Structure 1
Amino acid sequence: MPRLDHDHTGARIAHYRKLAGLTQRELALRVSYSYSLLHQVESGHKAASLDLVSAVARVLRIDVTALTGQPYVTELQQDRPDGLIRPIREALDLYDLGADPDLTTRTTGQLVDDADDLCQLVRATRLNQAARALPQLIAEVTTAAHRTPSATLWKALASTYRTAHDITVKLGFYDLSTIALDRMDWAAHRASDPLLAAVRQYMRALVYFREGEHTIGLRLIGAGRAVLNQAEESIESLAVGGQLHLGATIIAARAHDEDAVEAHLSEARGFAERTGEAGQIHWLSFGPTNVSAHEVSAKMELGHFGAAMAKAKEVSIPKSWALSRRAHFYIDRARSEMETGHTDAALGSLIEARRLAPQQTRYHSGARETIRGLVHLQRRSPDTLTHMAAWIGQ
């Protein structure tokens, strides 16, 4: 079997709990989870749910990444994406410096096309390639927008900032992802685009969802819907509006508010009936399939793993979906399968997620916790599971 060291989420929870001077029973009471469950998680005999992790982080007043261990230092040193992050950080600091007098820029059309191409690279989880090209493009679009301001260039700059957010989130650099979202807001205002501003609020809400701050997350969703009211109705505005409801669905599920989950899912379905399958709208793939995928995630967050697994079997993910989104679905599906004792199916779902988006799957905290859970559930690990555990460093 793979080695089961002490470098896992449960061990980190125990470490920070002790630093806070709390016993297991005291922490369990504060996070509203059973002492038995917390004990199993800390000892490494049960996977830590994202809900539990965010609740512990909130109570202990630490960042979620302190518990999940992202970005996983050993793996990052092997893949060397850390060397790609510093140039992105520096490029994000150029926003208010005006045009670079030493930089020659290409045409607006070329810059817009490059911004779209980078977005597609990230959706295809070709993160290293996108990260290498991103800093120079940010610098070039920033200079072009300052020299000849136009809504088109400001939108292109907002797109590059969105790409910076996606890359840094997927690699676990959450502090930098927050800066990228602030820059996206700065560019969206100059583009006078309410849809961009609404999408940015949606993305901010997901940051707070990760941190377990449900109330703030839902307020941000509300703010995004208010901004959206400034836009004329179109397929694009309907898709963004529906996505805002899907974001609220997952946040409400994490807060265990089943009535709110059903209300937001119902609203999202209504939007999806009007849009159909609407892909590539401000980096979103909204439609009936996405509503179903979010229903799977919501049921899982609520702890209804059997219902989540049953719903997942009904969902047919189109090949036109971004690889990153398809992989995320299979990671969710694997968790529901593991929790219901379908360990072979769970391993199969993880293998599919790895095939679709290897780098994302390797660093995804949900995938890592599910693999660890499978190792504990199976007294003798099949070779495939052993290889998967070794692949993520367990």
Structure 2
Amino acid sequence: MPALPYDHTAARIKRLRLERHLTQKALADLSGVAYSTLTKTEQGVIPATPYVLGCLARALRIDVSTLNGQPYATELRADELDILILPIREALDVYDLGADPDIAPRPRDRIAADAEALCAAVRHGDLKLAAARVSALVPEATTAAHLDGATEDWLTLASTYRTAYDVTTKLGYTDLATLALARMDWAAQRGSSAVVGGIHRYMRAMTYLRSGHYRTGRRLVDLGLEALGQADPGRERDVATGQLYLGAAVVAGRSQNRGQAEEHLTAAEHIAQRTGEAVQVWWLAFGPTNVAVHRVSVLAEINEYEAAVTAGRGLTLPEDWPASRKSHHHAELARSRMWTGDTDGSYRSLVRARKSAPQQARYSPTVRQTYQGLETAKRRLPGDFLSYGTWLGV
């Protein structure tokens, strides 16, 4: 569903509710969302939180992305990103055809280096570069893996599928993201890597988190931890395990289980003390900083916005921390500051999110919904506020 200038989350919720012939009371009962919250959300008085969106999406039997309006077709077309999606879709579809006779793969180390560079590009926030190159790299890596069948080849292929997942997730193509994850698992099994298998389950759990299916997300985290238990001890296993605990903390927070979220954060914190900052280990950005950032996220998920802002205020992000993670963190802080009534601070955080990773921020539902929430507040905001909205396309 394309996001039109006059279209927004509140309008979509109302439209989809009416299409299903539901009253507001009926949808509130089906979703478990308080009636007053639903009515205010539909009226645009308050923005929808991720928890509310997940509950409503489940009740309406649709994807959360439909309520968010993703993918944002108009903006994708303007940025010439829409033309990069079909090649990715086609690349993901040839996984089981064996070696392509028209492709002569380069040496293994060069393909692996390119796969690593694409992981870095995503973390730097360069989605267009990653999207443009991954569609060509996947078929080459696929052919190399089928020809040689070495463990390294299969794991490089898994890495290219992971980049396809990262790109399609951030641009709002949930169907392709799900397909890319399935391909990643397929390649990881052939590469016999318990660590990559654990990372796959972490990413899949985050997919279910975004869709509002928290129970399935928790099950995937458990399966990921089980898979990592079979990996060789060491820093790589520790990093993947710690990141799984961070994912579990956010899932618990989104499902409003504060005690469980704190347990997972504590487990991740203990591991981070052992690993230190491990930003480039499997490109998970794991370490003490990521634990602190996830604590802010969890506080926001359980509606402790003042505490989230306080925790965020005392956090300094390292200069060399991934731009994509910085942008995500600033977007989370913007949302929390908006809920505390600090509209100026919220907008400043939105500006930081854009500065850190412009391409990512432009397609972030959190950025868009926070901006619309600030717009609804009708308070005095900086003169460039409207130009920010024009840039977003809202």
Structure 1 length-normalised TM? 0.97
How far off is 1:279 after superposition? 1.6
The answer to whether the 8 Å contact 2:33/2:56 transfers is no
How many angstroms apart in 2 are the aligned matches of 1:251 and 1:21? Answer: 31
Aligned mates of 2:53, 2:248 — CA distance in 1: 19
For the pair 1:393 / 2:388, whether they are aligned, the reply is no
Instruction: Please name the residue that 2:8 is paired with.
Output: 8
Pairwise CA RMSD: 1.3
1:374: which partner in 2?
Answer: 374
- Partner residue, 1:88: 88
Match of 1:152 in 2: 152
The CA deviation at 1:40 is 1.7
Contact in 1 for aligned 2:155/2:188 (Cα 8 Å): yes
Report the count of equivalent residues: 391
Whole-Å Cα distance in 2 between the matches of residues 272 and 87 of structure 1?
38
Name structure 1 gaps, 5 residues minimum.
none
Task: Give the Å deviation of 1:381.
Answer: 4.0
Amino acid at match of 1:106: R
Identify unmatched segments of 5+ residues in structure 2: none
CA apart distance, 1:45: 2.1
Q: Is the 8 A contact 2:57 2:67 kept in 1?
A: yes
The aligned counterpart of 2:78 is: 78
Q: Which amino acid aligns with 1:390?
A: T
Query: Which residue of the partner structure matches residue 164 of structure 2?
Result: 164
How far has the Cα of 1:154 moved from its partner? Answer: 0.8
The 3-state SS of whatever aligns with 1:369 is helix
Which one-letter code corresponds to 1:137 in the other structure?
L
CA contact (8 A) 2:289 2:317 kept: yes
Matched with 2:253 is 253
Question: 1:202: which partner in 2?
Answer: 202
Question: 2:231 maps to which residue?
Answer: 231
Secondary structure of the 2:280 match is strand
Is the alpha carbon distance of 1:98 and 1:5 closer, same or farther for their aligned partners in structure 2, counting shifts above 3 Å?
A: closer
C-alpha separation between the residues in 2 aligned to 1:384 and 1:263? 42
Q: Secondary structure at the match of 1:331?
A: helix
1:175 partnered with 2:143: no
Which deviations, in whole Å up to 9, do the C-alpha atoms of 1:266-288 show, x marking residues without a partner? 11111111111112111211111
What do the CA deviations read for 1:186-206 (whole angstroms, capped 9, x no partner)? 110111110000000000000
Q: What is the rounded CA distance, in whole Å, between the counterparts of 1:265 and 1:192 in structure 2?
A: 29
Alignment of 1:61-76 (within 5 A): 61-76=61-76
Could you tell me how far 1:380 is from its partner in structure 2?
Answer: 4.3
Q: 1:237-386 to 2 correspondence within 5 Å?
A: 237-386=237-386
**Secondary structure of 2:21's aligned partner:** coil
Pairwise CA distance, 1:379: 3.7
Partner of 1:122 in structure 2? 122
Question: 1:34 Cα shift?
Answer: 2.4
Q: Distance in 2 between matches of 1:379 and 1:249?
A: 34
Task: Tell me the secondary structure at the aligned position of residue 180 of structure 2.
Answer: helix
Comparing 256-265 and 193-202, the one that deviates more: 256-265
Q: C-alpha separation between the residues in 2 aligned to 1:282 and 1:128?
A: 21
TM-superposed CA distance for 1:5, in Å, is: 6.5
Which deviations, in whole Å up to 9, do the C-alpha atoms of 1:330-389 show, x marking residues without a partner? 000011111111111111111011011111111111110100111111344431211111
Q: Quick one: which amino acid aligns to residue 99 of structure 1?
A: A
* Runs of 4+ residues deviating >4 angstroms: none
For 2:360 and 2:26, the matched residues in 1 are separated by 35
The offset of 1:33, in angstroms, is 2.6
- 2:218 aligned partner: 218
TM-score normalised by the chain length of structure 2? 0.97
Q: Deviations over 1:288-325 (max 9, x none)?
A: 11111001000000000000000011111112221111
TM-aligned CA deviation for residue 29 of structure 1: 2.8
Report which stretch shifted further, 176-185 or 16-25: 16-25
Deviations 1:176-220 (A, max 9, x none): 001100110011011111000000000000011011111100000
The equivalent of 2:31 in structure 1 is: 31
Identity %: 45
Matching residue's letter, 2:350: L
> What letter is aligned with 1:55?
C
CA distance in 2, matches of 1:237, 1:352: 33
**What do residues 131-176 of structure 1 show as CA deviations (whole Å, max 9, x unaligned)?**
1111111111111111111111111101000000000001000100
Residue 347 and residue 302 in structure 1: after superposition, are their counterparts in 2 closer, same or farther (change >3 A)?
same
Please give the alpha-carbon distance, in whole angstroms, between the structure 1 residues aligned to 2:6 and 2:90.
35
